[in-house]
Amino acid sequence: MISKNNLKNCIQKILVFQQNGRGESKIHGITKFGENLFNLQIISIDELLPPVIDDSIKYLPHDINADLVLDYLIHPDLSHDLGVMCINKKMPVIATGKKMHIKGVLTPPT
């Protein structure tokens, strides 16, 4: 049996990036079935974006810190820059269904 004190130390921070509500069902599932084992932070980008984003600093935070990053962004430039940011900070990132070629970014099929 895990004590409440040990349980508090086990809580993992998950940072979710989503665009136009794309990660809502996953966020709901983590919240419902995670049984308070996860601290979720959600960054939503819901504005109309240009076809090419040269500088993602307008949309992504300058610094991120999490045990796991989930990428549900639609725009490939933002996903790429987020993946590079996470790998540089040695943070695991899962970008489901993406076709990125960044070593260390997990891209399982949907």
**Closest-CA residue to 15 (of 66, 57, 89, 87):** 66
- C-alpha torsion sign, points 23, 100, 68, 60: negative
Cα–Cα–Cα angle for 49, 52, 55, nearest 5°? 85
Cα–Cα–Cα angle for 36, 38, 40, nearest 5°? 115
Cα distance from N-terminal residue to C-terminal residue, the chain: 35
Q: What is the pTM of this model?
A: 0.84
**Closest-CA residue to 18 (of 75, 66, 83, 57):** 75
Average pLDDT by stretches of 10, the chain with 110 residues:
57 95 94 90 95 94 95 94 94 83 73
Per-residue model confidence (pLDDT) at position 36: 80
CATH of domain 4-94: 3.40.50
10 vs 37: CA distance, rounded Å? 7
Per-residue model confidence (pLDDT) at position 6: 57
Per-residue model confidence (pLDDT) at position 77: 93
Residue spans of the domains in the chain: they are 4-94
